[in-house]
Amino acid sequence: MGKEPKKNKVVFGQNFLTDKEIAKNIIDSCNFSESDDVVEIGPGEGILTELIAGRVKSFTVIEIDSFYYNFIKGKSAGFDKIKDGSAVNEDGRFFRIVNEDALKFDYNSLSKTLNSKLRVISNLPYEISSPIIDKFIKYKDVFCDLTLMFQKEFAERLYARENDSQRGALSVIAGLNFDITRLFEVGKANFNPVPKVDSTVLRLIPRYFENEDYSWAASSQFFNYFVHQIFKLRRKKLKNSIYASFFGIPPDVKEKIFSGLNIDLNKRPQELTTEELVKTGKSYDLYLKEAENK
């Protein structure tokens, strides 16, 4: 990728991976092929970028920081001089870098243009972890898979299962939309600037269901809201949290819904299975719709 960039003030919360062996392990775990359309978010100094460029069918790089956008743009070895952010190498492989916010980028349009599903890779700035997951969920149909590095604590919340103290609304919604696998952890000493916490690399693969209730829950704004409200009272047992307001549903009705589904009211939110949450959310939704039609 060329010489190292001059010192530049980090303005978007980046922590750049510095260990080349770890970078290679991340790329190897992806097993990219010559027919893949790959998107990298936040290349920074290009430690992952240089291992991908020229090795896949098309490679789109999204960099919000103008300094690193120009660095990658000017140092893309193996490609003809980049013009307007795009280039093609001698093998006909396409490379494009855009100076844009990954939270605003149109992944759907790119997928349609390429007539292909996208494979995403990124060492994400910690501060955008939650909103970028929301974005990926919204457009999950355009992705083949996503290999993402997060702050360890965030990753634990993302793939937490039932009875895990880290389990929350994010765990439930993300788990309905993606199969999430923890690949490996990366110590904080392997980054510059050195963050306060370690990181974890996860693999996310879009998930789909034949079950209508699960399909509804994965994409429903109502269910998303329901789960977030349930976990707002995560430390309370259900028999106590049913008194919290939720679209005017009376506590006795909530109690009947849980009891009718054979859900123990002594449970706390993180102890509920995804199936129990989906069935409860569906029952809440049905009750409200019936009440509206009366």
Domain identity same for 43 and 89: yes
DSSP the chain: --SPPPP----S---EE--HHHHHHHHHHHT--TT-EEEEE--TT-TTHHHHTTSSSEEEEE---HHHHHHHHH--TTBPPPBTTEEEBTT--EEEEE-S-TTT--HHHHHHHHTS-EEEEEE--GGGHHHHHHHHHHTGGGEEEEEEEEEHHHHHHHT--TT-TT--HHHHHHHHHEEEEEEEEE-GGGEES--SS-EEEEEEEE---SSHHHHHHHH-HHHHHHHHHHHHTTTS-HHHHTTS-STT--HHHHHHHHHHTT--TT--GGGS-HHHHHHHHHHHHHHHHHHHH-
Q: Is residue 125 reached through a cis peptide bond, with omega within 30 degrees of 0 on the bond before it?
A: no
Residue 12 has pLDDT above 80, yes or no: no
pLDDT at 125: 82
Q: Residue 31: inside a domain, yes or no?
A: yes
Average pLDDT over residues 183-191: 96
Among 160, 178, 206, the domain-final residue is 206
- What's the CATH code of the domain at 67? 3.40.50.150
Domain identity same for 179 and 245: no
**Residue of 130, 140, 285 lying closest to 216 (CA atoms):** 285
Residue 61 has pLDDT above 60, yes or no: yes
Higher pLDDT, 121 or 75: 121
Among 173, 188, 206, the domain-final residue is 206
Q: How confident is the model at residue 82 (pLDDT cuts 50, 70, 90)?
A: very low
Domain identity same for 179 and 42: yes
The predicted-structure confidence for 131-186, as pLDDT tens digits, reads as follows 999 999 999 999 999 999 999 999 999 999 888 889 999 999 999 999 999 999 99
Token readout for 226 is 């329901």
What Rg do the C-alpha atoms of the chain give, in angstroms?
Answer: 22
**Residue of 61, 27, 44, 69 lying closest to 201 (CA atoms):** 27
Residue 81 has pLDDT above 60, yes or no: no
Q: Residue 10: inside a domain, yes or no?
A: no
Average pLDDT over residues 191-197: 91
247-285 as b/e: b if 16+ CB within 10 A: eebeeeebeebbeeeebeeebbbbbbebebbbbbbbbbb
Domain identity same for 70 and 119: yes
Q: Residue 216: inside a domain, yes or no?
A: yes
Average pLDDT over residues 110-128: 93
- For the chain, give the percent of residues with pLDDT over 90: 77
Domain identity same for 170 and 259: no
Higher pLDDT, 143 or 79: 143
Residue 14 has pLDDT above 90, yes or no: no
Domain identity same for 159 and 245: no
Domain identity same for 126 and 229: no
Domain identity same for 154 and 44: yes
Q: Residue 183: inside a domain, yes or no?
A: yes
From 7-16, 93-102, 118-127, 285-294, the region with the lowest mean pLDDT: 7-16
- What's the CATH code of the domain at 274? 1.10.8.100
Q: Residue 9: inside a domain, yes or no?
A: no
Among 206, 227, 250, the domain-final residue is 206
| Domain of residue 182, residue span | 16-206
Domain identity same for 80 and 196: yes
Q: How confident is the model at residue 53 (pLDDT cuts 50, 70, 90)?
A: confident
pLDDT at 269: 93
Domain identity same for 148 and 82: yes
Tally of structural domains, the chain: 2
Residue 7 has pLDDT above 60, yes or no: no
Domain identity same for 135 and 151: yes
Domain identity same for 153 and 102: yes
pTM of the model: 0.89
Mean of per-residue pLDDT scores for the chain: 90
Q: Residue 141: inside a domain, yes or no?
A: yes
- For the chain, give the percent of residues with pLDDT over 70: 89
Q: Residue 4: inside a domain, yes or no?
A: no
Q: Residue 5: inside a domain, yes or no?
A: no
Q: Supply φ then ψ for residue 133, to 5 degrees.
A: -65, -40
Residue 292 has pLDDT above 60, yes or no: yes
